[in-house]
Amino acid sequence: MKSDSGEVLKFKLGNEFIATEDYAMGLNEALSVLTPFLSDSQRNDLCTKKLSLETSPVSEQAYIQSAVELTVCAHYARFYSDEFIYEEKVNPPKDVDCSVRIDGFKYNIEVKCADFVKKELVDKARGFKIGAMGRLDDYAQLVEQLQELFSSDGHVLSEQRHMDNNLKTFLVSAHSKFAAVTPDNELNVLVVACDDAMDMQKWHSYLFGVQGLFTNDSYADRAAYDRVDMVVLTNLYHRHKDPASKHKITGHWHLSEAFCILCANPFSEKPHATAYEFSKTVRHFNNEWNDYLSGADDILKGIGIPAFVGSELQAKGMYYFQPYVPETDEAESEAP
């Protein structure tokens, strides 16, 4: 599906979210990798509408969604160019973000990124925060009781955003883009862009925690998304959000340098070999993470991803995430 043109895109950037020269260079390289696979209309749509590279207004969330899509598509176009297809209609008239055939297997890939604006407002607010891994029956009542208790002592307790309905929407949407019947050597993959390591832990719990979407007691009807064979959780939102502040991170536009966890749908009827072959196409940390959690108690497992990232990666100088630095109180910042 390559076009005849080997042109490298050249443009004058006017997008405020492309904040550093290195980040802009990475963008240009990703576009250059993907361009040969695009029609003129697809290239124009990607550059002017989705990424809004010149002067068109775009929201930060819309830009990051498009940046994540580009990062994933460029990865497969870069390493598996022989049979890469951009926006293939695997379930016409709907299309997936990309598909690729590798060594007798085919992978249909859809990419999604949530809107984190409301979550970030809560995270940035002063006071204590409370959240849950998975759906707990008495959670709302517990939060209300604790908020009353905190307020009586002059403190504020804010409830963190629970975003499993976002993930359910992504799964259902991806399901509609995949064909109803696919052969055993074809895998339907949903890539979900997450924020920091704790956020990734929460998205993992939306799949496998209490009433998780990939569990027997899922709060949603699994038939509405059973065409999804694999979910890839990746920190690409974190890597594309405010890149100027992420000085410890390199390779923003390379999926191979992101932090990824593969989450196979346990109810998928595809052979294990198909999922295993797909796992070779993306750098993931499942094996290292599982080894780290071997023999761990439930408390450690509940924060397994941030604990692994902190003690096994950042402690050894490997920065897939920008390290968290608590904000200094105004009083402290004014102190001599």
Integer-rounded Cα Rg, in Å, for the chain is: 21
Could you tell me if 243 and 252 are in contact, meaning their C-beta atoms sit under 8 angstroms apart?
yes
Q: What are the sequence ranges of the domains in the chain?
A: 21-114+163-284, 118-159
What integer pLDDT is reported at residue 324 of this predicted model?
A: 80
Euclidean distance between CA atoms 319 and 311, whole angstroms: 12
What integer pLDDT is reported at residue 57 of this predicted model?
A: 73
Euclidean distance between CA atoms 43 and 246, whole angstroms: 28
Euclidean distance between CA atoms 132 and 33, whole angstroms: 41
Euclidean distance between CA atoms 210 and 136, whole angstroms: 7
What integer pLDDT is reported at residue 117 of this predicted model?
A: 75
Could you tell me if 274 and 105 are in contact, meaning their C-beta atoms sit under 8 angstroms apart?
yes
pLDDT per residue of the chain (336 residues) written in tens, 0 to 9: 444 444 444 555 668 899 899 999 999 999 999 999 999 999 999 998 899 887 667 889 999 999 999 999 999 999 999 999 999 999 999 999 999 999 999 999 999 999 887 676 657 667 665 666 677 777 667 666 666 666 666 666 666 667 899 999 999 999 999 999 999 999 999 999 999 999 999 999 999 999 999 999 999 999 999 999 999 999 999 999 999 999 999 999 999 999 999 999 999 999 999 999 999 999 999 999 999 999 999 889 889 999 999 999 999 999 999 998 765 443 333 333
What integer pLDDT is reported at residue 155 of this predicted model?
A: 64
Residue 9 CB: number of other CB atoms within 10 A?
16
Euclidean distance between CA atoms 319 and 310, whole angstroms: 9
Could you tell me if 272 and 187 are in contact, meaning their C-beta atoms sit under 8 angstroms apart?
no
Non-local (6+) Cβ contacts of 24 within 8 A are: 13, 18
What integer pLDDT is reported at residue 126 of this predicted model?
A: 72
Could you tell me if 31 and 253 are in contact, meaning their C-beta atoms sit under 8 angstroms apart?
no
